[in-house]
Every structure is written in C-alpha cells, then in structure tokens.
Structure 1
C-alpha cells in the first residue's frame, strides 16, 4: 500500500522503519486496526491543526506601553546631560531637581584658610532659587527636545544673607573681627554736636560669596579660601548722626509753649536738652526721645506765665470807619486750660521733631473803643471844635483867612504833618502876597496850601487875620498835631 506520513509539531516528517508491517505502521501513524481481513481500511480522524501562535501581540503590547511611557516621561523630565551649577539634573523632574540643587548647596563647605575652620553654605545663609532654576532648566531643556541634550551647565548665582554669614564667620574666626564704633550725638552746653563713627573690620563677604559660587558651579563639595578682611562701617554713620543733631538743634531754636503764634513760655536750650536723649538703633537710624517726667516741672509753672486779664484798646477812625491810629493796643485775656496731659503730649511731639507746643487756653476777648474824630471850624464864630463820635471834647478861638484870602469851606481830611516850616509867598503885583515867615510850627495841611498851624506873631485870636490858614496858639497847634492823625476829617463852614 502507499506509505502515508504526517508532520510532527516541528513540521518534520517522522521516519518509519521498512521492516514494520502495515498494521504496525498504521498503529504508529494512529490508524485503527482492521476488524477482519475483508473490511475496508478506516482512517483515524486527524488531530486538530495546531493554533497559530500570535507572538506579535504578546511582544507588541509591552513595546507600546514602553513607548507611551517614554513619551510621557519626555514631557516631565529634564533633558539628559543637564546640570545646574554642577549638579546633574538630567532625567529628573522639576521637583527632584529642586531638591538635588538645594541639598548640594547646603552641603557645600567653605574652609577659612588652609587647615582652618569650615562653615557650610547653609550656615552662611546661602540661598538660590532652586525651584526657579529647576523650572527654567526644564522649560529650556525638556527631555523631548533632543537638541538640548547634553547642553552647557546652567549657572546658578548664590547669594549670602549678610547678617547670617557674618554671625557664622565671626563664630568660626572671632579674631578676624573688630566691631565698628557708632557716631554719637551729645549736647555741649549750647548745641548738639557729633562724634564721628569709627570703622571696624571683618571677613570680606564678597570673597566668601565668590569662592562659594565658583565651588558650587564646579560641583565641588568644599573650597578653601584665603581669609581677607575688609572695613566694616558702622550703620550709625557720621552723616546720619549729623542729620539727627541738625534736627535737634532746629528744635532748640524755637522750642517752647505757645499761645497761637506767640511763644508765651520759651524753653532755654540746656533745659530742653535735659529732656532729650538721642541714640542710634540697630539699623543705624537715630531716635530722639523725650522724658515726660522731666518736662512736668516746667508745665507746673505755666499758669501764672500764661494767664492774663483782657486789656481794652482804643483806635481813632474817620467817617469811613478807617482806623487811622491805635492809641491804646488791646489784648485778649486768656486762662490756661487742662495741663494734665501736656508733658506726655509734648514728649511725643519732641520725639517727632516738633518743639512747638500749643497750649490749651480759654480766650477772653478784649473790647476796642472806636473814636471817630473831627476838626470842625466855624468861621462865623472863629472857633475850632474838637469832636469825638459827634461830641465836643475841646474848643478854642482861631484866626482864619481874612476876606482877601478866605479859608475855603467844605469837607476835607488832614493829609500831612510837618513839625516846622518857613512859610513864604511872593507877588510882583500885590504886596499883600509878599511874606516870609520862618519857624512856623505844628503844621497840618488839609486843603492845598491851607493848613492848621501855630501862630507866634500875634495873639488876636477870634479874628480873621491869615492868608487862608487856620492859626492858633502854638500849644493848641501842638495839641491837635498829636490828636488828629493823617486822614482825620476836617469840616470848614460859616
């Protein structure tokens, strides 16, 4: 019969020995044995065809996952080869990079001189914005941007807190420090003067900062520096002290207790200086303080110096109400009010640079008497009347202009005063107008060349005898000269 064979799972056809009979071959091949010699041959059902193995599925899924993860990672990681100030941050997230940079800086050490003491960056108060640097590193060099792989190091400037660094360095090398001396302000008996500040010295922070930056940028954990000192100025400088002295001296120039604009009770410089203290604070500013307890004894003496009765005044006016002269100055009265808080309030004012303290007072207004004055000449009577507020206060005879040169009637005002003059007149046609009278006294003009004045060349008063002026005895002319200021009303009538 025809030889039959099948492939095994490997795809190879198994070999069958030639000595094996057909029945055996059938068994080997898996056929059922014949039941009898005449029965037809029956083939055993063949085994199910092996399923094809889909290895690409089992391989492809992990590859896809890995690929997706790589893409995702490239969106949150910093590019390989990136360093911030010598600290490798490639393939790190921003947060991890921030921690790495901060930790590296804190651990960096500065050795002060060969074999000298050391201080860490953390002890020096070294800072940098690690978060901002890490963020900038990622923004500029994300992992997905292949062009930014293995770029130049990112610089990271380190700064020191001056106070923290100075304290740490002073603890490490106290012999390298000499404290500066602050400028002082003191009262010398007449004014505030300044004693200048004196500089000290200490380790130069610029040198330490530069060395720390160099070491950190190079990724070095430690650096040794030569100890260099530099001058250390006092924060309380001479210039600031002088400004404080100038402010205090300005207060001394006008210090006192005021009623309105009047410095009613001045305070002398030495007393004021005993109230004040001028000191420098830790930041170098100067503060002026005042002791209320020292001010109080002066406050206790104020009342008799401030209180006063009202003083009534008198003024001269004309018919328009214009004040021509104050004959008696008026002054309001006043009574000092509550002084229980004056010392405390003044101390606060002085601390702010204000030496003018306005006292609480109750004012009693003064009464002012107004005298409206008038020089009235009655030509028919040849008499002068002095009137105040319409009432006659004095009267006497005068000599007015005679008929050839009458005193003009009307309302006038005194316009000028002359203590003494020579009165002259000349005429080539009328001898009446030729005269020369020296030493005429107490002259007040009111209408052109017509005036009130004294007469020493006759005593015939009550009769018109002048060239137009109003004459009278010298003592009477002096009386109205001082009684009627410029602007006083004059009324001449028949």
Structure 2
C-alpha cells in the first residue's frame, strides 16, 4: 500500500472470486477491503493533482462542504484513505489531504519524492529508468535554463543512454525518445535506473501454455491464471466510446507478442480527445493496431471504460503483467517482438 496503487476490484466480483478460490493464492492489486484506515500508508505519501482542478471537501463525499481547491500538478500530502460516497460509485476511494479534508482518488496520482544517486556508468545499449519524483521537466539540453521539451511524471519509464554534466557540473541523464528519436535531458537525481535483477520474469518455471489472462469488460477486471488457478487480479480501464469514434476494446483471444519497457504514445489533436504521453510504462501489446496492457499516470480512476482501446492498469499492476507474461524482454533491450506469447481472453 506504500505506493497506493488503488485499483480496487468491484466488491461483488471480488467476493465471488474469493469464495471460489483460496485467498492466499491471490495477489490482489492492493485491495482496500478489510483494511484499517491509514495502516499501510507511507508517512511520506503524496498525491499529484491530475485534473485541471480538484476540490477538497470536509467529508469524503461530493455532498460535503468544499474547503479548498487545487490545480493540476500541485503535490499534496496524503494522510489517510477512506471509502466514501461518490457519484463515481465504481470508485469510492477518497484521500485525506493533510488536515484539510478529502478529495476523490480518481484525479490524484499517488506519488513519492525520492532522489537517487548518480550511477557510475550507463550500459552501452542504454538502460530503463523510472521517475521517482512527482514530476521532472525534460529539457532539450542539459541546463536548468534550457527550454522544456516534456514534463515527465512519477512512475513513467524512459530509456537512458548517457550521463552528461552541465556548465555547473550538475549531472543529467540523456533520455532517447522512442517515438521521435529525440534526446531529452533530465536531472539524474530524478531517475532511478532499474537494476536487471528487478526485471527478472515472474513464474518463469510455469510454461507459457499454462498461463492465461482474462479481461472481463463488464466488470472492468483482469485476472491472471497459472494452471487454471488465479494468481493475480487487478482493476482496469478499457476502451470507451468518444464523440470522435468508438474505441471499445474488442473481445476475443489474443496474446502478448510485443512488449516495450516504455512507449511515447501520441495521437490526434490534443484539443479534440488526442493525447501526447511520453514514458508510458510496462507495455504488453496484444494487437498490431497497438492495444496493450500498460501503466497509467494521467488518471487513477479504474473500473470504467475510458481509454482509446488499451487496457489501463496502475503502473504497479502493469509491471507485474509485463514481467509475468511471455516473451521476456532482456534488460539490455528496449523491446521484443515474437510470434508467440501469453494468451489473453477479452470477455464481453
């Protein structure tokens, strides 16, 4: 719970699931049922505002009295968690903000502020790294007064290829953008190079044919199985219908044949439901058209369709899926593309 990956399976579905299977076999994605408020909170837990603005209420309910308003990218202390009343009945999680009051979790990215030591060297082919602060500005050149290319957010992943120092001697990591092939520069303290041992595959001794993922569209839940027994469950947000098109995630059988540690996803007009999202983490693709399981840093409101076809997960859950499914991506490679992979059933 330290990282607050709050993707809670719907209660009725969760209880049916737990009645059928032995609960100790199931790695629920940080479920809050039967928890003591605040019991698992990191004392340094923070939350970044995701929407243009959010309101703070005196109780965990939209019917409460509004006591404050904060704007996008404000970083707030998260001091407690409550199950409250909400217009979004599929997500009833509220965060307590300091001693001020409560805000709905859907528009808050749980974050921490952790700085990192400079590594001695970067592998010749580069290495994957993750942002460990609420956000950091990636610049066109390594200096604080250089123009900002993008803002990189907590838990996003980026391929680091070099270490450079600015005129003051401050170290920066050079990050290669995988979509445009540009170089961006980020203060080294804001990125953690992920050690190879952390990227070891999960359940490597289970044959690929004995692994399977089910994505249940009506319940917005994914369940991973080994030998027909469930081992992982997480809430998702799948494809939705928008004014400019139907992006519903199609049902059927697929496989995770193509995987990337990081992907810069961009499409369309930003003013008309387009997006430009660098560093989308832990991508496990199931179609040539780009539908994938991946981590999500632009919303925290799982349980209802809202994507352009992909299967949105918390970054923690997406990392688990990435490491559990086949094929395995070697730490020295940015991606892998095979003709085989782990089976995925999308069920409508």
TM category (shorter chain) comes to 0.3 to 0.5
TM-score by length of 2: 0.35
Which has a greater percent of helix?
1
Higher strand proportion: 2
Structure index of larger Rg: 1
Name which structure has the greater RCO, CA cutoff 8 Å, separation 6+: 2
